[in-house]
Amino acid sequence: MNMRKEVFPMLDPNVIPMDLMNFEANYMEPSSGGAFFIAVYEQTGIVGSIGIVPFDDRFQAIQGLYASGTAAEVVKCYVDNRYRRQGVGTKLVGKALQYIEETGYLAAYLHTHRFLPGAVSFWQRHGFQIIAEQNDDWQLVHMGSG
C-alpha cells in the first residue's frame, strides 16, 4: 500500500481497494483467471508487484472492444522508486505476460495515467499500444496488446 500511496497521493490511504480486500478470490483461486506476482529483495522485502485479472469491460471509452473472457487486465504494477530503472518492472511485466499467454487469454489490457512520468512509454516498450485516452482529471490512457 505504501507504493500505491506514493503513486496516487490523492487517494485515501485508509481505503483498501476491493480487489485487495478479496485478494484470495481475485488472485489465488484457480478459477478466478487472476494472478499476483511480487518482486522481493532479501534485504529489503517487497519492491514491486503486478496483478492480472479478467478484464471486466467497465470503461465506457472502450466498451465492447474485447469479447467477454478473452482479455486479461494488468493491474497493481508498482515498483518502489528506489528500485526503478533496474529491470524490476520489466521482469514483473514479463512474468505477467507469460501468465496471460499460458492461461489462454487472447489480449492484455491496462490503463495508466499521463501524470505518471514514463508510464506510457514503459508500456509501449513492452508491446502495448494506446487504444484511447480520456482527457479528464485522471488523464487515463487505455492500452492493449495482442
Tens-digit pLDDT string for the chain (146 aa): 565 566 665 557 788 888 889 999 999 999 999 999 999 999 999 999 999 999 999 999 999 999 999 999 999 999 999 999 999 999 999 999 999 999 999 999 999 999 999 999 999 999 999 999 999 888 999 999 98
The half-sphere exposure of 91 on its side-chain side, counting CA atoms within 13 A, is 14
The closest alpha carbon to 110, from 84, 76, 70, belongs to 76
Domain 2-145 is in which class? Answer: alpha beta
What are the Cα distances from residue 24, in Å, to 76, 124, 127, 140?
Answer: 15, 30, 29, 28
Residue ranges per structural domain of the chain: 2-145
